[in-house]
Amino acid sequence: MSRPWVSSLLGLAALVLLLWGGANCNFIKFESTTTVAGQGVEPTTLNFGLWSYARYVIVQSGGYVTAGKVCMLYPENMRPDDDAYWEVARIIMGILWVVAVGMLVFACCTACCSKELDTLHRGAPPLVYMLFCILSGLLFLVLDSNLCKNNRLVQSLNVDGKVTSVEFPETCSLGTGGILVAIATALWGLAGVLSVMAQRKTSKSTEANEALTEALISDDV
């Protein structure tokens, strides 16, 4: 498990999960647990992302009418202008988009295709993996933002819910996107640890070879 390509594959998998989960509109969710008109119904889920939220739409096609979800940008009254946690999470996600795509894809592809894998995993890669682990972990600052704890859309629906008996919790929980980002964070941390292990193994092997070479030279002399 300390081979360099293992950490490369973990980093690449973490990148895919982060970009999919962080950019989608289901980072957090509010799930109703109440009933309509006193009858049990399936829980209704409201999904929100860093830049957009999920909205139900009615689609008519071929004589059939179906309900689907689309990601919509937030309206003006739901922008993170006065919300430091939400704004920081969006900035960090933007940084990860730009830096991760450029550096991780290049590093992983180069490492997997190169014959000198050990050389490529000296120095920077462990630090890069741990840096991305920390940055992706900071995305969860959004759980302390107004998007999660003081969501205006949810509050307005709860006012209407006093009539329909459908209400949502005041605080959010992790949605599918948030769970994917959590997994990506763990994978980057694991990739960093394995990269350090590979580095130490290579260093010990190099030292052993140098010692053997010196011993052979001494015997020849």
Mean pLDDT (10-residue bins), the chain, 221 residues: 69 88 92 61 81 78 65 84 89 84 64 52 72 92 93 81 69 94 94 80 52 51 48
Looking up tokens 């190169």 gives: 114
pLDDT of residue 211: 47
The residue ranges of DSSP E strands in 49-199, in sequence order, are: 52-61, 64-73, 173-174
d(CA 187, CA 133): 8
Cβ(130)–Cβ(207) below 8 Å: no
206 token code pair: 């190099």
pLDDT of residue 63: 60
Other Cβ atoms less than 10 A from the Cβ of 213: the count is 10
In this structure, which amino acid lies at residue 53?
Answer: Y
Largest Cα span, the chain: 96
pLDDT of residue 30: 92
Looking up tokens 């829980």 gives: 43
pLDDT of residue 1: 44
DSSP strand pairing (45-48 vs 28-31): antiparallel
pLDDT of residue 110: 60
pLDDT of residue 147: 92
pLDDT of residue 7: 79
Cβ(29)–Cβ(47) below 8 Å: yes
Alpha-carbon dihedral sign for residues 100, 84, 72, 143: positive
Kindly report the pTM of this predicted structure.
Answer: 0.76
d(CA 218, CA 204): 21
